[in-house]
Amino acid sequence: AGKKVLIIYAHQEPRSMNGSLKNTAVEVLSEQGCSVTVSDLYAMQFKATATRSDITGNLCNPKHFNYGVETREAFRSGNLCKDIAEEQKKVQEANLVIFQFPLYWFSMPAIMKGWLDRVLIQGFAHNYPQCYDAGLLKDKLALLSFTTGGTEEMFSKEGDSGDVKYLLWPLQHGMMHYCGFKILTPEITFAPEYVTENRRKEVLTSWAQRLQNIWNEKPIICTPP
C-alpha cells in the first residue's frame, strides 16, 4: 500500500492480450492500495521521434543540432516540451515502472522506444558517471512485461530465435539498468495468439498472482557473466 506504479503501455487494441495484461496489473495493484498511472502511448499519440521541437526556447548551438546536448540543457533550464516533462514527473513519482508491450523485431515498438529516447534524458535519468548502479533512477524498480509471436521453444538455446536472454540484454541492461533501475524478472507471455483461450486465462491468473507479491521480489542481475 502507498506505493506508486507507472505502466508504460504500448498496444493499439484494448482487447489485445497486452491490453488484458495491463488491465490485470491495474486491477491487482489498485486493490493493494497502490496508486497506478498508465501512459497509454498510442491513445496519447505519443510522439516517438527525438526532434528539435522537444526543446522550447533557444538552442545552445543552433548551427549544429545535437539532441543529447540540447535536451540535457533544456532539462536543466526547464525548457523541455510539455509531454516529456509530464512523463518525467510520472517516472519521478513511481516506485515501479512496468513496460507492457508486444515484441516488435526483438525489441519494443517504436512508440515505446521513442518514449525512452525522449523521456530518459541526461541529467534526469543518467549523467555519466552516474549510470548503471549509480544511475539517477536507482531507487526505482523496472519490469518488462511483453508478449511474443514466437513460442517458448523458439526462444530457447536450441530454438531458431535463440535464447531470450540476448534480446533482454539491450532492454534490461543497456536501457533500464543504465538509468539505475533495479530489474525485476521479466514477465514473458509467449505466443498468446497460438495458445488456447484457457491457457491465456491461466497466464493472466499467474500474472495476477505474481503481482500480489511483487513488493517482496528481489531484483535480478541483468549483467550476464
Contacting residues toward ligand FAD, per CB under 6 A: 11, 13, 15-18, 20, 102-106, 147-150, 192-193, 197, 200-201, 204
Closest distance to ligand FAD from the beta carbon of 104 (Å): 4
177 binds, among ligand FAD, Zn ion, none (CB under 5 to 8 A by kind): Zn ion
Per DSSP bridges, beta strands 141-147 and 182-183 are parallel
Q: Please, are residues 222 and 173 in contact by the beta-carbon 8 Å criterion?
A: yes
Residue 86 interaction partner, one of Zn ion, ligand FAD, none, beta carbon < 5-8 Å per kind: none
Report in angstroms how near the CB of residue 111 gets to ligand FAD at its nearest: 12
Q: Which is nearer to Zn ion, 137 or 222 (CB)?
A: 222
Nearer to ligand FAD, 93 or 152 (CB): 152
In sequence order, the β-bridge partners of residue 146 are: 101, 188
Report CA-CA distances (Å) from 116 to 41, 110, 166, 214. Answer: 12, 10, 20, 24
CB of 48 to ligand FAD, least distance (A): 14
Residue 203 CA to residue 88 CA, distance in Å, equals: 31
Question: Is there binding between residue 138 and Zn ion (CB under 5 A)?
Answer: no
Give CA–CA dist 110/112, Å, rounded: 5
Determine if 223 is a binding residue for Zn ion (CB under 5 A): yes
Query: If contact means CB under 5 to 8 A according to the sort of partner, which of Zn ion, ligand FAD, none does residue 64 touch?
Result: none
Nearest to 28 by CA among 98, 82, 114: 98
Q: Shortest Cβ distance from residue 169 to ligand FAD (Å)?
A: 15
Of 18 and 39, CB closest to ligand FAD: 18
User: Residue 37 in 3-state DSSP?
Assistant: strand
The answer to whether 74 touches 83, Cβ cutoff 8 Å, is no
For residue 173, the partner it binds in Zn ion, ligand FAD, none, with Cβ less than 5 to 8 A by kind, is Zn ion
Burial 76-101 (b: 16+ CB within 10 A, else e): eeebbbebbbebbebbeebebbbbbb
Residues within window 163-202 making contact with Zn ion, judged by CB under 5 A: 173, 177
Cβ closer to Zn ion: 78 or 224? Answer: 224
The type of residue at 46 is F
20 binds, among ligand FAD, Zn ion, none (CB under 5 to 8 A by kind): ligand FAD
Binding-site ranges for Zn ion (CB under 5 A): 173, 177, 222-223
